[in-house]
Amino acid sequence: MKPLKAVRSVAVVLPEENIDTDRIIPARFLSTTTSDGLGKHAFHDARRLAEGVPDESFALNDARAHGAEILIAGRNFGCGSSREHAAWALGDIGVRVVISSEIADIFRANASRNGILPIVLDVESHGRLMACGFETMEVDLEACEIRPEGSEPIAFEVDGFMRRCLLDGTDHLGFLLGHYSAIESFDAARDARLAGAES
Amino acid sequence: MASPRTLLDKLWDEHVVVPASDDAPAVLAIDLHLVHEVTSPQAFDTLRERGLSVRRPDRTLATMDHSTPTLPKRADGSLPVVNEQAGRQIDRLVENCRAFGVTLHGYDSPNRGIVHVMGPDLGATQPGMTIVCGDSHTSTHGAFGSLAFGIGTSEVTQVLATQCLLQRKAKAMAVDVDGELPSDVDAKDLILAIIAELGVGGGTGCVLEYRGEAVRSLSMEGRMTVCNMSIEAGARAGMIAPDAVTIEYLRDRAMAPAGEAWERAVDRWRRLPTDEGAAFDRTARVDACSIEPMITWGTNPGAAVRVSGVVPEPADRSDEKALAYMGFEPGQAMAGKGIDTVFIGSCTNSRIEDLRAAAEVMRGRAVASGVRTLIVPGSGPVKQQAENEGLADVFVKAGAEWREPGCSMCIAMNGDRVGAGELAVSTSNRNFEGRQGAGARTMLASPRTAAACAVAGEVVDPREFTRSPVGAGVGDA
């Protein structure tokens, strides 16, 4: 996993609440058997009007969004389906940080396992950032601080394990495999117990 | 004496391999890992890249449901897949299961079906288990008093390789449903009412335990419908403590314990319910008596009102956008809205009881002209049973399409979809923009309501049908 220490980039604001993972990547693009190159499907339908032409009012279609690595979204981002394709698609368009006042549990886990930092802010701080469309800001994971250019920094909290894994680029599977012998003995004891050895 | 524990506490304690610390989440043992074709190919690839095997093939069970066609095989034996990629995904699951020794209920198995219908059908889903699957509706299995939740593909890899996951314990939230559900109101109406109450993010970070008289009175099918949609309130999982209904459902199922092992298992299961006086982090209360048939008006599952109600005033910009997408105006009656498509199926509502409720409405009646009605059973055994009971005949005679098992129009990956701009009544779980096809407009409802709408050709309160016999009312054939 690509480590993430600090990101400095323009921020794109998607003000809508409850942006679900079907919006991030519609299900018809899930027939793939790889995780690469899904950026071309990111927000496929949300980017377009019914006739298929680009929706100029959608922030990611704006020229100023070019190269943006920070996404600020309305409440309850990433709800719905568990598809990790949503995190893969966002990663593929260069997103490294997602900020909201509420981020759905499964999406948050998927994002962090793919080098994307999910940040949940209180409503007031979130509201402040929602007004910062296309402004440049720095997200510093070591200091746990968001620094919008020209305004006061905002402190944030993240799970310590998630933070360490993102900073070091630690792979969760490798970490879990480090517990293999504990897993084996737990399993053996539990299998025996369920088979009635102790009853 | 040990302090009283919730069902979640008991499940958690039983499965902790390494406890959580400030520095790291707990290592949690997984009893049953369900696998399907869409979220697993990348996980099996990672195992190959790293030279890993599937640690517990005996606790891993696969089927194919999302990309699979619901039309029967062609005369030459080939599957009418929607495109080459879908076919490749199905083939890859077959290859991966063979290579890694995982039991697969594919096209050669009579048990193939939607993963969350198949597990309970087989008796693989049991109380006291931890159950995961790369699918958010894994919460369904919580209906048996298991801790069951959806995971992403990275986690699918972890479970394949170690039969464990890194997890922090969620908060426990009691959802107390007081009183009795009216007789013509179904589990789907109950869960839509609960989500409308909690909000689509109201359960984030929580495991919901549904309790109370109305929940205890539900069949296993009804309980599965309720737990299935826990994720639509943002919850990690939903659960219902096992009781006599659970035990009777599981007795004699293919993968349920038998003989002495059955007795031991039942004894274990009886100790699972939340202890008297155990503390929940949060509590919500819902009054069952006042619930009526429900339907959604917006583009998230929390946007539900009574079928007899009206489109509400938008509360914010997101609501305004939803109304614009749906083409609805505040104050309009839901009843009477003309519809194009009806879908009865999905992991929420494709079990035998759902099909019986739909058939009760459709028996002796006909689907309104111009309304496409697709009825998709959840699994091979459900399909067989519905045919044996004559339900399939009722549907076909009414003019509905009776299909092969699968996810079908719920996720619209297999070619079954709602056309752009069309308005559908669907028994599935998500009314998101484009969920049932680009531009499709979805209203979620129960099988009984969906069947009534199919017959009426418009949104209608199903009680207009179930309270009047055929020949005495609306929509008679």
Encode pLDDT of A40-67 as tens digits: 999 999 999 878 899 999 999 999 999 9
B233 Rama class: left (phi>0) / alpha (psi -120 to 50) / beta? alpha
Sole residue written with tokens 């599935």: B428
Considering only CB atoms, which chain A residues are within 8 Å of B23? 160-161, 164
Torsion sign over Cα A14, A15, A21, A22: negative
The C-alpha torsion from B66 through B357 and B460 to B175, rounded to 10°, is -70
The pLDDT of residue A184 is 97
Distance from CA of A47 to the nearest CA of B (A): 12
The pLDDT of residue B31 is 98
Q: Please report which confidence band the pLDDT of residue B2 belongs to, taking 50, 70 and 90 as the band edges.
A: confident
CA distance linking residue B246 with residue B120, whole number of Å: 11
CB contact under 8 Å between B46 and A109, yes or no, is: no
CB contact under 8 Å between A176 and B162, yes or no, is: yes
B209 pLDDT higher than 60: yes
A199 pLDDT higher than 90: no
pLDDT in tens, A136-169: 999 999 999 999 998 999 999 999 999 999 999 9
B188 pLDDT higher than 70: yes
The pLDDT of residue B476 is 47
B76 neighbors B346 (Cβ within 8 angstroms): no
Instruction: Look up residue A175 and give its two tokens.
Output: 């970490």
B300 pLDDT higher than 50: yes
Please name the residue of chain B whose CA is at the shortest distance from the CA of residue A102. B201
Instruction: Look up residue A48 and give its two tokens.
Output: 């377009």
Considering only CB atoms, which chain B residues are within 8 Å of A34? 41-42, 45
B89 pLDDT higher than 70: yes
B234 pLDDT higher than 80: yes
Is B289 an 8 Å CB contact of chain A? no
Q: Please report which confidence band the pLDDT of residue B470 belongs to, taking 50, 70 and 90 as the band edges.
A: low
CB contact under 8 Å between A82 and B135, yes or no, is: yes
Distance from CA of B282 to the nearest CA of A (A): 17
Q: Which of A43-57, B137-151, B229-243, B417-431 has the lowest mean pLDDT?
A: A43-57
CA distance linking residue B227 with residue B219, whole number of Å: 12
B175 pLDDT higher than 90: yes
Is A138 an 8 Å CB contact of chain B? no
DSSP states along B155-205: HHHHHHHHSEEEEPPPEEEEEEEES---TT--HHHHHHHHHHHH-TTTTBT
Is B113 an 8 Å CB contact of chain A? no
pLDDT in tens, A68-96: 999 999 999 999 999 999 999 999 999 99
CA distance linking residue B134 with residue B41, whole number of Å: 11
Torsion sign over Cα B435, B441, B444, B447: negative
B347 neighbors B137 (Cβ within 8 angstroms): yes
Least Cα distance to B117 among B307, B347, B298 occurs for B347
B329 neighbors B323 (Cβ within 8 angstroms): yes
The pLDDT of residue B432 is 97
Distance from CA of A105 to the nearest CA of B (A): 6
Q: Provide the residue type at B433 as one letter.
A: E
Q: What interface predicted TM-score (ipTM) does this complex get?
A: 0.96
Pairing relationship of beta strands B206-211 and B294-296 according to DSSP bridges: unpaired
Least Cα distance to B418 among B341, B338, B473 occurs for B341
**Angle at the Cα of A27 (from B107 to B55), degrees rounded to 5?**
55
pLDDT in tens, A108-137: 999 999 999 999 999 999 999 999 999 999
B469 pLDDT higher than 70: no
Least Cα distance to B396 among B427, B362, B424, B425 occurs for B362
Q: How far apart are the first and last CA of chain B?
A: 65
- DSSP helix/strand/coil, A97: strand
A44 neighbors B434 (Cβ within 8 angstroms): no
Per-state percent for chain A, helix, strand, coil, to nearest 5: 35, 20, 45
Please name the residue of chain B whose CA is at the shortest distance from the CA of residue A50. B439
The pLDDT of residue A197 is 62
B309 neighbors B462 (Cβ within 8 angstroms): no
Please name the residue of chain B whose CA is at the shortest distance from the CA of residue A186. B17
Is A51 an 8 Å CB contact of chain B? no
The pLDDT of residue B1 is 61
Give the mean model confidence (pLDDT) for residues B58-68.
Answer: 98
Number of H helices and number of E strands within chain A?
Answer: 7, 7
Cα maximum dimension of chain A: 68
CB contact under 8 Å between A28 and B134, yes or no, is: no
Is B324 an 8 Å CB contact of chain A? no
Query: Cα B314 to chain center, whole Å?
Result: 28
The whole-model pTM stands at 0.97
pLDDT in tens, B319-342: 999 999 999 999 999 999 999 999
pLDDT in tens, B218-229: 999 999 999 999
Please name the residue of chain B whose CA is at the shortest distance from the CA of residue A45. B438
Considering only CB atoms, which chain B residues are within 8 Å of A35? 42, 153
The pLDDT of residue B477 is 45
Distance from CA of B2 to the nearest CA of A (A): 20
Least Cα distance to A9 among A168, A146, A143, A154 occurs for A146
CB contact under 8 Å between B17 and A183, yes or no, is: yes
B471 pLDDT higher than 70: no
- Name B321's Cβ contacts closer than 8 Å, sequence gap at least 6: A16, B299
CA distance linking residue B379 with residue B385, whole number of Å: 10
Please name the residue of chain B whose CA is at the shortest distance from the CA of residue A44. B438
Query: Cα B247 to chain center, whole Å?
Result: 20
CB contact under 8 Å between A27 and B435, yes or no, is: yes
Neighbours of B399 (CB within 10 A): 18
Instruction: Look up residue B42 and give its two tokens.
Output: 């990348």
CA distance linking residue B226 with residue A84, whole number of Å: 25
Q: Strand order of the sheet with strand A6-14?
A: A117-120, A97-100, A70-73, A6-14, A136-140, A145-148, A154-155
Instruction: Look up residue B391 and give its two tokens.
Output: 């339900």
Give the mean model confidence (pLDDT) for residues B8-21.
Answer: 98
B175 neighbors B210 (Cβ within 8 angstroms): yes
Neighbours of B109 (CB within 10 A): 14
CB contact under 8 Å between B163 and A32, yes or no, is: no
CA distance linking residue B202 with residue B204, whole number of Å: 6
Give the mean model confidence (pLDDT) for residues B50-59.
Answer: 98
